[in-house]
Structure 1
Amino acid sequence: MFSSLLLFSSLLAISQAIPPPPIDPCAPYCADVYIISCRATLEVQGEGQIGQVAEYVQSATMQTVERVALEYPAILEGYAKSAATGAEALKQLITKQTKECPDQKIVLLGYSQGAQVVGDAISGGGYGQMGDELIPGMSEELIDRITAVVLMGDPRHMAREEYQHGTARKDDGDGVFPRSPQQIETLNKHKHKISSYCNRKDALCAVRGKGNLGGHYDTISMFVTPAKEWVLEMIEGQELPEIPDELEIESDSEELPEVPDELEIPQEI
């Protein structure tokens, strides 16, 4: 009995004397939530206007949040190449982040060209004016790592997409650069984690609607509140209320002239 107690006391003393493993200064910092913002065409490098959603989420949640802005050209001349570059950069960033921080909740935010970049990264790029060759999107394994996706004023918006929560209706048509059937099928498959907002007066995401570029610029102010509240619910894991097919939101763009039959879109995109 005495020898057993002596052995136990010795083991206890040894275990207390062993210091905890040192913290690796080279280990990556892993916040609970990782938000990537993809800015619109011609916005300066940074989060852009869509960063308002990221800012709200960070201030409203008790979880730790890391915000980053995707680095890509976001230019008008050479638009197709710019969007393709952004989509590839986003895929690489998410691949890297999921390896370094496997338990993070990843949120993707995109406005205008930035929305196209996000959608192309997920479902693949190319098709139509974006080039006939279809460019592969993310693997299903990688898509499963994404918690929430917000698209605003997506030029590749489709009237039949099942994750549309803006004011655009089916008869308002598709965006200026429609997606392929395969691409829209991929996005619809993940509709539970995507929220797309197209203003029916936005001539870039709903070309048959009675809209104009002013309607495109109104998108952020119109939908920032429902978007940021939806993202917060997604990362908190709360039960989500149903979103109506059409939101009754008034736009200040009512007085703006109707979009001409042909938009001045660069031929070399």
Structure 2
Amino acid sequence: MRRTPAVLLLAALLLPLAACAPTIDPSEARESLSEVTQDPAEPEAAEEYDAEAHPEPIVEPLECLPYLVVTARGTGEPSRGQLLDPVARAISEARPDEVLRLDLDYAADTDVKEGGTVGARTLVDTLNVQAESCPDQRFVLLGYSQGALVVGDVLAAPDVRLVGQRVGELTPEAAERVLAVVLYGDPRFVGGEPTGVGDFDPELNGILPRPPGSLDAYAERLRDYCVAGDFVCQASLDLDEEPHVEYYSNGMQQDGAAFAITRLDPPSRATEDRSGERDPARPAR
């Protein structure tokens, strides 16, 4: 796994992170993801969440803390106890009273096109509204499995998306505010991209690989974690569920949190006083 010295240090400090892995039906998961491209029909949500036809944001402004951390959970994960909870918590604890956490409001069920469309519109509007309402707020985006698909598609151009082609785009101001993107078990993973982290086979892609270069604008801000044998990000023919949930226990939660923390500003003196020691994180821009 590729790591910088700063990330290694922070990962060691974040070892207590933990979450319980869900039970996954690999056949059902693969089928639900494959249907995204096998069925050419648009989901029912496409018209309702069309940004051109319905330009008014579907979300209200949130609190203007310095950082907004958004989690997009995987298929079937609960809102609490998901893979991304410890990652978001570690980021919050690194900057006490400076982080607002938001779990993306979308179904995360097996109707990926329908739920993904809603999730994509919600995320686009949330980031755009916050960029306009909170001039100093910046964003950290976390996604697992289906959630990684949604986050990645929002950051990509509409013509290469698989969900949310019509939900609008991030404004330049919102896109610039994205400090870090951390994805796990991404169905749209591309093995040859430099943003990949893990022991994956670079010759293998995910079930629904995005066109190479789709996320180049975020390359320095993105970590796309994938392990060997993960049938979602490696399109493995072996439908073993274990690799797709290894992220709960293999240290990649800590590594992802550490990477995101290094992207934040140095802690204020007030933050240092509350934590009792200086945070070694430094922005990497």
* TM-score over 0.5 (shorter chain): yes
**Which digits, 9 at most, give the CA deviation of each residue in 1:215-260, with x for residues without a partner?**
00112322111111111111135155xxxxxxxxxxxxxxxxxxxx
Other structure's SS at 2:88 match: helix
Q: In the alignment, what sits opposite 1:163?
A: 195
The one-letter code matched in structure 2 to 1:84 is: T
Identity of aligned residues (%): 27
The secondary structure found in structure 2 opposite 1:121 is helix
Query: How far is the alpha carbon of 1:185 from its aligned partner?
Result: 1.9
Letter in 1 for 2:215: L
In the TM superposition, what is the alpha-carbon distance from 1:209 to its structure 2 partner? 7.8
Name the counterpart of 2:147: 114
Displacement after TM superposition at 1:139 (Å): 4.2
Q: Which residue of 2 aligns with 1:10?
A: none
SS in 2 for 1:170: coil
Structure-2 separation of matches of 1:110 and 1:102: 24
Task: Look up the match of 1:82.
Answer: 115
- Counterpart of 1:31, as a letter, is L
- Aligned partner of 1:232 in structure 2 is 261
**1:221 is the counterpart of 2:273:** no
Residue 98 (structure 2) pairs with residue 64 (structure 1): yes
Q: Give unmatched runs, 5+ long, in structure 1.
A: 1-26, 241-269
Q: Is the 8 A contact 1:46 1:70 kept in 2?
A: no
Counterpart residue identity of residue 52, structure 1: P
Whole-Å separation in 2 of the counterparts to 1:193 and 1:58 = 18
Q: Any unmatched runs of 5+ in structure 2?
A: 1-60, 267-281
Higher relative contact order (CA 8 A, sep 6+): 2
Alignment of 1:16-165 (within 5 A): 29-46=63-80, 48-62=82-96, 64-76=98-110, 78-124=111-157, 130=162, 137-165=169-197
How far apart are residue 40 of structure 1 and its match? 0.8
SS at match of 2:197: coil
**Secondary structure of the residue that 1:235 maps to in structure 2?**
coil
Is contact 2:71–2:142 with CA below 8 Å preserved after alignment? yes
Matched, 1:174 2:208: no
> For residues 140 and 182 of structure 2, what CA distance do their matches in structure 1 show?
8
For 1:209 and 1:75, how far apart are their aligned partners in 2?
A: 22
Taking structure 2 as the reference length, the TM-score comes to 0.66
Post-superposition offset of 1:213: 2.1
